[in-house]
Amino acid sequence: MKLLALDTSSEGCSAALFADGRVTEKFEIAPRGHTRLLMPMIRALLAEQGLKPADLDALAFARGPGSFTGVRIATGVVQGLAWGLGLPVVAVSSLETVALGAIEALQVSEGEGIAVAFDARMSEVYWGCFRNRSGLPEPLGEERVCPPSRVALMEAGIVNWIGAGQGWAFRNGMPDDVSARINSIDEALIPRASWVARLAAVKYSQDMAVPAEQAQPVYIRDEVTWKKLPGRE
């Protein structure tokens, strides 16, 4: 199976190719360079593997939450490619991708919890809780956006918790019963296309791919709030 995955949901810009179980990736920190970098990354990945777009079986992208502009860039590119090539699409939560990164980078044990937090601006965080289930993040409850003071750990019998994501910079504003239960934190983890690819390959095998028109971004935050931001109508 050959799957191309994209992520532009944070300051990182990346593309990854899952080809018969092996993942290769192009990644660069470029807060304002997603549009400029993404297509060259895609072309380079395919060329290095001697593949053409028509050789792909599916596409995937980090659907959000994250940067509104960034999420739309990956969504637009994936939808355009999917329509043109007639390929199915797998949309993967950006929070879930970082949970997978934490499982690997922080050596999270089986059954332990991962609490992922992104900076959502406007004094809020995007928040999602997961459990390591056989090396993959299992979602616990719904993802949400809220002030740091309102985050909560989904119990599910989990004793040990790991924190991941830049939103943990606001740990001091989180409830004591949350921050006190976190054993370690990696604030540097951001979404990467290689993690998107690995999760998407699993979801694809579970028949979770959708047609291009159904591959939509997930902002979580009420879009009315977005429209009220300065300069938006």
164 and 99 within one domain: yes
Residue with the two structure tokens 């056989």: 134
75 and 16 within one domain: yes
Inside any domain, residue 232: no
Number of domains forming the structure of the chain: 2
Distance CA 15, CA 61 (A): 9
For the residues 37-47, what does the mean pLDDT come to? 98
CATH of the domain at 41: 3.30.420.40
Tokens of 165: 């994501």
Distance CA 164, CA 184 (A): 9
Residue 226 has pLDDT above 50, yes or no: no
Q: How many CA atoms lie within 13 A of 218 on its CB side?
A: 19
Q: Report pLDDT for 221.
A: 76
155 and 137 within one domain: yes
108 and 46 within one domain: no
58 and 122 within one domain: no
| Cβ 202 vs Cβ 4: under 8 Å | no
51 and 15 within one domain: yes
Residue 225 has pLDDT above 80, yes or no: no
Which residues form the domain of 85?
Answer: 2-94+191-227
40 and 124 within one domain: no
Q: Report pLDDT for 154.
A: 82
| Cβ 62 vs Cβ 98: under 8 Å | no
Q: How many CA atoms lie within 13 A of 5 on its CB side?
A: 37
Inside any domain, residue 108: yes
Residue 232 has pLDDT above 60, yes or no: no
Kindly tell me the burial class for residue 29, based on how many C-beta atoms sit within 10 Å of its own C-beta (0-12, 13-18, 19 or more).
exposed
Q: Report pLDDT for 223.
A: 46
Give the model's confidence band at 157: pLDDT under 50 very low, under 70 low, under 90 confident, else very high: confident
Residue 29 has pLDDT above 50, yes or no: yes
Distance CA 223, CA 228 (A): 9
Q: Tell me what the pLDDT averaged over the chain comes to.
A: 93
Tokens of 200: 């998407």
pTM comes to 0.93
Q: What is the pLDDT of residues 190-209, one digit of tens each?
A: 999 999 999 999 999 999 99
